[in-house]
A and B are shown apart, each in its own frame.
Chain A
Amino acid sequence: MVLVINEGFNDAGHEDPGHPERPDRVVAARSAVDDLHLGDDLVVVGAHSATRDELVRVHSGIYLDELSAYCYSGGGDIDQDTYATLDSFTIAKYAAGAGLAVIEELQRRNDGVGFVAARPPGHHALADRAMGFCLLNNVAVAAAALRSQGERVLIVDWDVHHGNGTQQIFWDVPEVLYVSTHQWPLFPGTGSVNEVGGRHAADRTVNIPLPPGATGDVLRRGIDEMAGPVIDSFDPTWVLVSAGYDAHRADPMADLRLTSGDFALLARCVSDYAPVPGRVVMFLEGGYDLGALRSSIHASLSAALGQPHDGESPSNGGPGTEQIERMRQSRRSTVEMLHASDDEESTQ
């Protein structure tokens, strides 16, 4: 099976010395791809800068104007975590366009797995606000493009932080199902189990918050038991992954205890939700320990491509298992309440 990856673009201009979201992250991601030794099975598609039309499907025009003006005037700190430089808007548009180019190639081939190794990451970017290192929401731009083609898109977000931007953008969109596993409590503070989607998309958001120290077995159980039935009933035509690797036990930004072996199992599990080959794309989100990032990307891509991997064993035994059934029931009640209030309104 081929791996379709975006061509590298010069992202050195988006850097703030000492900031954890740095160009070396993409270098590590591309090294992980090199480690696969794919030869002719590696397909690199040309860089694409997302157009305004492609961006306004998810971001407000006013925000895009503000962000570009801010960057072109020299940039600076946007909030306590997020920075922009003179080149950031240009670079962010390439990051947002990379997924579109990869998807186009997969559609042409009807085969393969896609990987978008680009930065800055995107899943915290709201429709009208940058935050959490993110300027433009890369996975949302891709999902919105697919939606415009009539596709039903599953987004699985296994970054350790909740993807509040992606959730907000598709909150009331029935053609996009958003599933997130994340540590809680942790930045950005959203992602409660009772956030299930808007009135027109009740049940199209599945949040699986996990306590600090949770291991891969707990996370996979959460996906199987809480998200599995919802995904089956949604019947996606595409699977996009917000593939953050900061849930790895070596990552300094959070406290989950996953290993590269867990990311391999996750990638296999998520790939199984795609109806046919050529319909899975992984987007790099977080992951700040370069060694863990490289080994975890290698493991997840190996698994998605059906190759064995010989990295760390999957983790188990962490806390959180006992919460899953309780969370599932709580979520179910919230969805039923939303449906009931909707029925009540429609009969009045």
Chain B
Amino acid sequence: MKPFQHVAVGYDGSPDATNAVRWTFDAAREVHASVTIVHAIGLIEHQRKHFSTDRVPPALLALAKECAFEESELHWLVEDGDACSVLLRMTSPPINADMLVVGSRGEGKREGLLLGSTSLELAEHASVPVVVVPSDFTEH
């Protein structure tokens, strides 16, 4: 099997998403893959953007450092759309991600909710492997 080369991970600022980014850094470092962290801007967020479009959030840079992940292999992208559609777009040019990663629960979501679950939607529609990082996952 060809090792993955480019991973896209969803990020909304929640603890679960941060956990997913941490897992991605650790996994990508091992196989020298690059990482695109993508934030989806929804309808409401247009009024007050949560993240800069051109600057990696400092918290993610700190996390990359903590995980010994090369900053030069880290890309930050802010895209319009719901989280699922935006992540699915990451598998097409120009990003061409060959793996998608999400946390098991996004900001404000109800535990165990099936409807609107980004991870389930991705699993159904993605053409590449999807990793769902559990809320309480720790590597060590």
Q: A interface vs B, CB < 8 Å?
A: 19-20, 66-67, 70, 76-82, 84, 129-133, 161, 164, 185-190, 252-254
Give chain B residues whose Cβ lies under 8 Å from the Cβ of A186: 46, 80
Give chain A residues whose Cβ lies under 8 Å from the Cβ of B85: 131, 164, 188-190
Question: Are B80 and A80 within 8 A (Cβ)?
Answer: no
Give chain B residues whose Cβ lies under 8 Å from the Cβ of A70: 113-115
Question: Are B107 and A188 within 8 A (Cβ)?
Answer: no
The residue that A188 contacts in the complex, of B80, B118, B121, with Cβ under 8 A, is: B80
Question: Are B80 and A253 within 8 A (Cβ)?
Answer: no
Question: Are B44 and A189 within 8 A (Cβ)?
Answer: no
Specify the chain B residue showing the minimal Cβ separation from A68.
Answer: B115
Rounded to whole angstroms, the CA-CA distance of A70 and B114 in the bound complex is 8
Given contacts A77-B110, A79-B106, A187-B81, 5 further A-B contacts (CB under 8 A): A20-B44, A66-B115, A78-B116, A80-B106, A80-B108
The residue that B43 contacts in the complex, of A76, A129, A130, A133, with Cβ under 8 A, is: A133
Rounded to whole angstroms, the CA-CA distance of A110 and B100 in the bound complex is 53
Specify the chain A residue showing the minimal Cβ separation from B47.
Answer: A252
Give chain A residues whose Cβ lies under 8 Å from the Cβ of B110: 76-77
B 119-138 binary contact with A (CB < 8 Å = 1; else 0): 00100000000000000000
Specify the chain A residue showing the minimal Cβ separation from B118.
Answer: A79
Question: Are B47 and A81 within 8 A (Cβ)?
Answer: no
**Can you list 27 contacts pairing A with B, beta carbon distance less than 8 Å?**
A66-B114, A66-B115, A70-B113, A70-B114, A70-B115, A76-B113, A77-B108, A77-B116, A79-B82, A79-B116, A80-B45, A80-B106, A80-B107, A80-B108, A81-B42, A81-B43, A130-B116, A131-B85, A132-B43, A133-B43, A186-B80, A187-B41, A188-B80, A189-B86, A190-B85, A253-B46, A254-B46
Rounded to whole angstroms, the CA-CA distance of A78 and B43 in the bound complex is 13
Give chain B residues whose Cβ lies under 8 Å from the Cβ of A19: 44
Question: Are A82 and B80 within 8 A (Cβ)?
Answer: no
Question: Are B113 and A80 within 8 A (Cβ)?
Answer: no
Give chain A residues whose Cβ lies under 8 Å from the Cβ of B32: none
Rounded to whole angstroms, the CA-CA distance of A27 and B111 in the bound complex is 34
Rounded to whole angstroms, the CA-CA distance of A131 and B85 in the bound complex is 10
Give chain A residues whose Cβ lies under 8 Å from the Cβ of B83: 79-80
Q: How many A-B residue pairs have CB under 8 A?
A: 81
The residue that A189 contacts in the complex, of B80, B109, B115, B118, with Cβ under 8 A, is: B80
Rounded to whole angstroms, the CA-CA distance of A189 and B46 in the bound complex is 12
B 35-60 binary contact with A (CB < 8 Å = 1; else 0): 00000111111110000000000000
Question: Are B115 and A80 within 8 A (Cβ)?
Answer: no
Known: A79-B42, A80-B107. A189 touches B79 (CB 8 A): yes
Q: How many residues of B contact A (CB 8 A)?
A: 29
B60-95 contacts to A (CB < 8 Å): 79-86, 89
Give chain B residues whose Cβ lies under 8 Å from the Cβ of A77: 108-110, 116
Rounded to whole angstroms, the CA-CA distance of A82 and B44 in the bound complex is 10
Instruction: For residue B36, give the distance in angstroms from its CB to the closest CB of chain A.
Output: 15
Rounded to whole angstroms, the CA-CA distance of A81 and B40 in the bound complex is 11
Instruction: For residue B27, give the distance in angstroms from its CB to the closest CB of chain A.
Output: 26
Instruction: For residue B72, give the distance in angstroms from its CB to the closest CB of chain A.
Output: 27
Rounded to whole angstroms, the CA-CA distance of A254 and B44 in the bound complex is 10
- Residue B12 at the A interface, CB < 8 A? yes
Instruction: For residue A189, give the distance in angstroms from its CB to the closest CB of chain B.
Output: 3
Instruction: For residue B82, give the distance in angstroms from its CB to the closest CB of chain A.
Output: 5
Give chain A residues whose Cβ lies under 8 Å from the Cβ of B80: 185-189
Rounded to whole angstroms, the CA-CA distance of A129 and B79 in the bound complex is 20
Give chain A residues whose Cβ lies under 8 Å from the Cβ of B89: 189
Known: A67-B115, A79-B116. A187 touches B43 (CB 8 A): yes
Instruction: For residue B59, give the distance in angstroms from its CB to the closest CB of chain A.
Output: 19
Question: Are A253 and B81 within 8 A (Cβ)?
Answer: no
Give chain B residues whose Cβ lies under 8 Å from the Cβ of A132: 42-43, 82
Question: Are A189 and B121 within 8 A (Cβ)?
Answer: no
Question: Are B41 and A129 within 8 A (Cβ)?
Answer: no
Specify the chain B residue showing the minimal Cβ separation from A65.
Answer: B115
Rounded to whole angstroms, the CA-CA distance of A48 and B120 in the bound complex is 33
Instruction: For residue B92, give the distance in angstroms from its CB to the closest CB of chain A.
Output: 12
Question: Are B116 and A129 within 8 A (Cβ)?
Answer: yes
Give the 3 A-B CB pairs with smallest separation, nearest first.
A189-B81, A78-B116, A81-B42
